[in-house]
A and B are shown apart, each in its own frame.
Chain A
Amino acid sequence: MHDDVDELIRRRTQVEIPAEVEDRLRRRLAEFRVRVEQRPPSRLRSFAYSLMSPPVLRPAAMTAVALAIVAAGLILVPRESRASQVFAAAANELKSAQSLQYTVVLNSDPYVGLDFAYLAPGYRRVNFSWGMEVRTDGATGRQILLMHGIHAYLNETGKTVESQSNIDDFSAQLRALPDRADDVLGEQWTGQQKLLGYRLSKTPPNGSIPGLKTMDIWIDSATREVHHVDITVQEKGKPEHQMHIQDIRVGAAVDRSLFDLTPPAGYSAFVVPGAKSTTAPAAQAPSMEVPAAISQTAEVAAVVLPMTGSYAQTAAALGTVSDWLDKKGVTPTGPPLGRFWSDQHWEAGYPVPAGTQAEAPLKVVTLPAGLNASAVVGGAWGKDTEARWGAFLKSVVDQGYVPAGPAVEIWSGEDGKPETQSTGMRIPVEKVK
């Protein structure tokens, strides 16, 4: 009896689609397919997949996930609008990105830019436009600074343009955007691209931009990827200013050789004396100026103890050299010094008269004559090492020079009396060609 109704419906609905209509529908399908294939991955689903493997766990896992989703739906998660879904999708894509590259423009006039690249599992590369490059290897904890003079831009005030910690913060903040924005800003068009704007009024997780007022995130409505970020900063007592993160490339192929810690031709590797080799963001450098004096210096001979590893061994190394000099009746010609080739290769010792002979493990080295940059900073030895070397090197680059050899520190004053102590900074340099 039922068959006659079913048969009638079946017979009356068995019709062919006209070719013209089929073409139109297939075009819709093709557009849809592109959108699906560009759709960012769902972390929730990945989690669900992981729960369902092996299959024996599937019923329990499905029940657990279903209960969790029902609970979240009923209690925790309000229904999301399409706008918030777009934001959440973009935030998720950044979180799961294997690589991330972008440019930070701090001031557009005069231009000061920083190119940043992140490559999982933890390589970072920051290229400061005024001639300094930082590379870190998250896996081994190694970090090098490279100096070059190709782009010697400086902002007009000559202040430190940005600390590495802030650059790392941008990366951390982009990769840790919350799932929801505080405000929706509406649409913006750039050529044929429709951008959807979202505003964060609170510092995102892991972020520490001083004086952050707003962070506006603009997302391409078609690809659901972050197009650019406008950051407004309002520090107490200072005028409001903006920073821009642009040219954002998520998951793009990145040349791994950029993260090679071997300096390329034309670059000078530079080790900050006393600085720890770590990928943890350094404390923000205090604003400091250390003018470098460029001059020709004479050759200096020194008896040193070759060292590797922690700089905390400096005092012990100097004690060894001092005892040997006392024993041999050699009088140092100046205060103790350290020369730093890399974090695994450094020397500590005393300048001595030319012609002095040494016995292993000590050795006699020569600080060659030539063009050197130098400065003396008062205060306790080892204090603000990274900040003062950063300021010193900036002064070197500012004057059109780049480092051409290992850094040397000379420690004057009395041990245990910081008020008497000062640190001489010296590094071979050459003029930028």
Chain B
Amino acid sequence: MNDRQQEYQRLIAPIEDRMMRAVWRVLRDSEDAEDAFQEALLTVWKQWDRIVVHPNPHALVLQICIHAAHDVLRRKLRRGRRLEAAAIPEDIPDPSASAIQTISDAEQDAAVLRAIGNLPKNQARAILLHAVEEVPYKAIAAAMKCRESTVRKHVARARTKLRVLLSHLIPSVPKEERTHA
């Protein structure tokens, strides 16, 4: 096994599944996901020499994947494409409780993705890495090339914004906050 093969085994192989999931979770569309994944791999290729010596290469690679996926999501929202189209089943055989639940879930997923898509880049990256990928603050800071306190601020601001945008899905949010939303 040559040096490059060893590097791949160390840097990418252990997180291949996480990389794919990180992109899919944000996009839920095969073409968009493939575009974003390709974009992410290109960035990883360009930054390979940096990644190899990075103190937390896995966090950095995941951050690159999330960034690429978020970029595509934002472009999609700007173009006004309806996220629900891909998520909501077109054919609903019967109005049973399970079918209604399916629609409800799809609407909620779309609302969450739309809200994430409306977050500023750094806030979106920080909250997705922290809340979804469960990457520690310190590793996120290394991946985003900023201080840990800055990451905490990004996450806090993202939460605040999401709390407002998704108030109708969060039972604990007071009614007046929902009204403002």
Seen from chain A, the residues whose Cβ lies within 8 Å of a Cβ on chain B are 1-2, 4-6, 8-10, 12-15, 17-18, 20-22, 24-26, 28-29, 32-33, 35-39, 41-42, 44-45, 48-49
Contacts and interface: CB of A to CB of B under 8 A. Distances in A.
B41 A28 contact: yes
Given A12-B108, A12-B112, A37 B5 contact: yes
Given A9-B131, A37-B5, A39-B4, A45 B112 contact: no
18 contacts: A2-B159, A4-B171, A5-B162, A6-B131, A9-B112, A12-B109, A13-B112, A15-B28, A17-B24, A25-B24, A29-B19, A33-B8, A36-B7, A36-B48, A38-B4, A39-B45, A41-B4, A45-B52
Contacts of B49: 42, 44-45
A12 B45 CA distance: 31
Contact of A9 (B12, B16, B116): B116
Contacts of B159: 2, 5-6
Given A8-B166, A9-B127, A13-B132, A1 B172 contact: yes
A41 B163 contact: no
B41 to A, nearest CB: 5
A2 to B, nearest CB: 6
A24 B33 CA distance: 10
Interface string B24-36: 1110101001100
A18 B30 contact: yes
A29 B24 contact: no
A1 B3 CA distance: 47
A25 B3 CA distance: 25
A102 B38 CA distance: 36
A21 B4 contact: no
B8 A36 contact: yes
B92 interface: no
Contact of A13 (B25, B38, B169, B172): B25
Given A8-B112, A8-B169, A9-B132, A48 B162 contact: no
Contacts of A14: 25
Contact of B33 (A10, A13, A25): A25
B64 interface: no
A28 B132 contact: no
B2 interface: yes
Interface string B12-26: 100010011101111
B61 to A, nearest CB: 11
Contacts of B146: none
Given A22-B20, A24-B30, A28-B41, A10 B132 contact: yes
B170 interface: yes
A253 to B, nearest CB: 14
A153 B108 CA distance: 80
B41 A32 contact: yes
A26 B23 CA distance: 13
A92 to B, nearest CB: 12
Given A25-B37, A36-B48, 17 more contacts: A4-B170, A4-B172, A5-B162, A6-B127, A6-B159, A8-B162, A8-B166, A9-B127, A12-B113, A14-B25, A22-B20, A25-B20, A29-B19, A29-B20, A36-B4, A36-B8, A41-B3
Contacts of A35: 45
Contacts of B24: 15, 17, 21, 25
A400 B151 CA distance: 81
